[in-house]
Structure 1
Amino acid sequence: MKDSPFEDGSNEYEGETGEVLNQELLDKFSDKFGADTKNRLAMNAISGADMNKVLLNRKTIINDIHVFSEKLELEGKATNQKSSGRCWIFAATNVLRLIVMKKYRLEEFELSQPFMFFYDKMEKANFFLENMIELVDKDLDSRLIQYLIRDPVTDGGQWDMIVNILEKYGVVPKAVFPESYNSSNSSKLNWLVTTKLREFTYQLRELRADGHDADSLRRIKVNMMEEIYRIMAITLGEPPKKFDWTFRDKDGRYYEYKGLTPKKFYREYINYKATETFSLINDPRNDYLKLYTVEYLGNVQGGLPIRYVNVPIDVMKKLVVQTLSVGKPVWFGADVGKFSDSELGILDNKIIDYEAGFNIKFHLSKDQRLKYGQSSMTHAMVFTGVHLENNVPVRWRVENSWGENRGEKGYFVMGDDWFSDWVYQIVLEKKDAPKEYVAILNQSPIVLPAWDPMGSLAIM
């Protein structure tokens, strides 16, 4: 191991103890900084502006064009999750709506994200309280309890949670259950529900200390959940139990379907078998071709657990290309904030030239970034295209949920190197994946701790 962290192993401050950051050493730093005119230019430019705008790489902007050799024929209008963390729900409904648009020849269509949001919040609250009952005798100061009570009902989620909500509650068109202020601006709602859940946790632990058993605590929990329902209904409205769906197709033909239930609409009108899908991750910290789960991560009590099949990144890319080539979009999870420009809609390792501005390079590998807290899944989006050169991916087309005013009418372009470094998860239908990967679902999963970064998309 080198004595210096720098690539050439040099240490020009040899002789300095380094124990104390003294003024003499700071003066040396300052003298060297000021002697370089490039440093002065960078300071003048960056200190008064957004560094990412100053350091935008013009060449990368020009190269990342929105032209793709493989692209879905049918795409929907970009959606907007606004000031909420519902990306995973938006990405899922953006996948599902294409089935409806194609089947019923619709120009535009959107499924109700608030409908799924309502039931996900309710289920997460119940899931959390069940965990608190299970762990009621565990030390309150334990890392696990403190982690679980930090954000018990965040807006985030995982694909298997989508499956749970769809299977238990179905879904409806957005016109039937539209956004409320609080679904689009969820921070106050989250604060209110979280405050009550922490209060309930205290009460459950006090009741346990007074001798109540688990069955007694669960009976008391029913009253707690009634309060949560009241909060959700007041802030979002009550989801419909039955509804009518009317629309005109591309040719102006009128259709009317009366008395539908959300589950009937999901099963018969969308006809998507979410239970026949599965998640693949690229987690280089752990063994490939193994099944993983995250402890205490979920939404529906007794529902489908969170499961991931770990595969190399090249396998993941190949499967996405194959799926796009047969006209299907691909839901995925990534670390969206790294090396990106949200206004231009570019995800590219070269988009921000930190070396030009600061004379620095970054050396952590993907597995090291996960281990040291430098990266995790933060956002879910949808692949809708890829550009291949000599059958090798060069760039990817991405449907985001940040509105039409970013990228190309809400669609982003992703460099292939960015995919390698920052994409962690994709979802496929089992019939679109090799049988050997589907068979891994039969393994007993390796359990990752509750705070593992493979679960981070669900806590954003």
Structure 2
Amino acid sequence: MTFGNDDSRQAMGRSVTPDQIELFEKEFASRPLNRLMQNAVTQTPVDDVALDRRVLTGTDHSVSHHLDDWKATNQKQSGRCWMFAGLNLLRVGAARKLGVKDFEFSQNHLMWWDKFERANHFLEAVIETSDRDVDDRTVAYLLADPISDGGQWNMFVALVARHGLVPKSAMPETDSSSATRAMNRALKTLLRQGARDLRLRAADGAGAQRERKREVLAAVHRVLSIHLGTPPQRFLWQWEDKDKAFHRDGWLTPAEFAASYVQLPLDEYVCLVHDPRESSPVGRTFTVEYLGNIVDAPPVVYLNVPMELMKRLAMDAIVGGEPVWFGCDVEKMMRADAGVWDAALFDYAAVYDTPFTMDKAARLLHCDTQMTHAMLFTGVDVVDGSARRWRVENSWGEDRADKGFWTMNDSWFGEHVFEIAVRRSALPPELAEALGRPPIVLPAWDPMGALAA
């Protein structure tokens, strides 16, 4: 092949050439800083090199308002953070009513029902879209991850409303609830196989599809019961309080247990998000197509608000004595061993001699961020009426940070927190009114539909 004509020169412009590579190598070698960073990063994790120790050592872990007086939980090798965060919020009031220092609702029980309901939700979506090509973008999105561990606040509320709660003793953890990969692998194949069959039976009518859906759900039920155990329909609830006094509440259903020991009005909570994209107006509600876990449950709805309002509402709730559920992009600017988040914790620009200039909106638009994790705010450091740092209950066990409680500097909140759940009554009147308007429907693949996992 020759490269003498105009077309060939254009091709060289589109392709990487030996001359370009040689130039890049000379430029790299000509800068002593590059060689220094190469020597450092080839021998040391880049985060250790990029760490700004002034930020790390300058982060005080104390806060002016501190709620937690309990042990951190551990989701282990599962993506149940959203569920743990929700149950951690509810266990505060339950422990107080029970008169115990530490208490946990069964995360395994709620996950069993989430998986089963989500399988049904997925199969209904397949039936609804069975007239589309399999490579239709929505169909492909549904098939890409038919049943993950992740979730959203509204999905948590829907589960509690539909299936109640039980104490951890009534349905303890299993190997698969703590490490979900093998179970999820089986469920995903089973559901994709079911999707194939439902699409093939579309021409045979709704009856044929519904019968096949029943068969798939029966198989899902078996898989979940084998991996996670069988959810109790009733259980005997008795306990010893912190003063060694014995109590017995008798035989309860999950619904009766939730009614007795959930001390917060979950149906009064709304989910606020900070979505700074130009296409997402402040003061409007949003929902995401096919986002959810229970068919016919209230949809997952977000209200887009300014970041400063989100911070103030979270601060006010904590000062008022109530922890706050929130979702974020957890691994950005995170130092896990110290349990610290700060927006400037690592100076990657100095290591790579390259600026990183995308703001939050650009990161959303260009797939560089989304909500990946949910946790609980349990403290805030207030200075002159504003939050300076936040105390966070994570669900990654007690071996990091302050026995599982992390510190978030306020700079990180603005850049990487996406949503919080707060009481409707805390909203300004104009935003409370906006909740009643029809939501803007975003496509299934929009980043605001990401599930915290």
* TM-score in terms of structure 2 length: 0.94
The reply to whether residue 186 of structure 1 matches residue 142 of structure 2 is: no
The reply to whether residue 241 of structure 1 matches residue 233 of structure 2 is: yes
Aligned residue for 1:395, secondary structure, equals: strand
Q: Which residue of 2 aligns with 1:37?
A: 32
**In 1, Cα distance between the equivalents of 2:82 and 2:21?**
47
Q: Which residue of 2 aligns with 1:432?
A: 426
- Which of 348, 361, 364 is 1:367 aligned to? 361
Partner amino acid for 1:360? Answer: T
Q: Which residue of 2 aligns with 1:280?
A: 272
Identity %: 40
**In 1, Cα distance between the equivalents of 2:76 and 2:250?**
31
For 1:259-299, what per-residue CA distance to the aligned partner results, in whole angstroms no more than 9, with x for missing partners? Answer: 01111111122243211111000001110000100001111
Aligned residue for 2:166, secondary structure, equals: coil
- What does residue range 212-227 of structure 1 map to in structure 2 within 5 Å? 212-227=204-219
**In 1, Cα distance between the equivalents of 2:52 and 2:169?**
42
**In 1, Cα distance between the equivalents of 2:32 and 2:212?**
69
Structure 1 stretches lacking a partner, 5+ long: 1-16
For 1:423-451, what per-residue CA distance to the aligned partner results, in whole angstroms no more than 9, with x for missing partners? Answer: 00000122333333232221101000001
Does the CA contact (< 8 Å) of 2:94 and 2:263 recur in 1?
Answer: no
Displacement of 1:227 in angstroms is 0.7
- The farther-off stretch of 237-246 and 447-456 is 237-246
Does the CA contact (< 8 Å) of 1:333 and 1:457 recur in 2?
Answer: no
**In 1, Cα distance between the equivalents of 2:80 and 2:104?**
15
Partner amino acid for 1:27? Answer: E
**In 2, Cα distance between the equivalents of 1:178 and 1:343?**
29
Q: Which residue of 1 aligns with 2:52?
A: 57
Does the CA contact (< 8 Å) of 1:75 and 1:98 recur in 2?
Answer: no
Displacement of 1:18 in angstroms is 5.5
Does the CA contact (< 8 Å) of 1:97 and 1:110 recur in 2?
Answer: yes
Q: Which residue of 2 aligns with 1:6?
A: none
Partner amino acid for 2:43? Answer: G
For 1:123-182, what per-residue CA distance to the aligned partner results, in whole angstroms no more than 9, with x for missing partners? Answer: 000001111111111111101101001111100011111111100110111111111000
Displacement of 1:254 in angstroms is 1.6
Partner amino acid for 1:442? Answer: G
- The farther-off stretch of 358-367 and 277-286 is 358-367
Aligned residue for 1:442, secondary structure, equals: coil
The reply to whether residue 377 of structure 1 matches residue 371 of structure 2 is: yes
Aligned residue for 1:331, secondary structure, equals: strand
Displacement of 1:354 in angstroms is 1.0
- What does residue range 396-415 of structure 1 map to in structure 2 within 5 Å? 396-415=390-409
Displacement of 1:55 in angstroms is 2.0
The reply to whether residue 255 of structure 1 matches residue 250 of structure 2 is: no
* TM-score in terms of structure 1 length: 0.93
Displacement of 1:202 in angstroms is 1.0
For 1:217-245, what per-residue CA distance to the aligned partner results, in whole angstroms no more than 9, with x for missing partners? Answer: 22331122111100000000001111122
Give the 3 Å change call, closer, same or farther, for CA 325–46 of structure 1 in structure 2. Answer: same
Q: Which residue of 2 aligns with 1:419?
A: 413
Does the CA contact (< 8 Å) of 1:266 and 1:272 recur in 2?
Answer: no
Partner amino acid for 1:134? Answer: E
Q: Which residue of 2 aligns with 1:10?
A: none
Displacement of 1:20 in angstroms is 4.1
**In 2, Cα distance between the equivalents of 1:284 and 1:339?**
20
CA RMSD of aligned residues (A): 1.5
Does the CA contact (< 8 Å) of 1:163 and 1:304 recur in 2?
Answer: no
Q: Which residue of 2 aligns with 1:8?
A: none
Partner amino acid for 1:66? Answer: H
**In 2, Cα distance between the equivalents of 1:175 and 1:109?**
10
- What does residue range 4-83 of structure 1 map to in structure 2 within 5 Å? 19-72=14-67, 74-83=68-77
Aligned residue for 2:63, secondary structure, equals: coil
Partner amino acid for 2:57? Answer: I
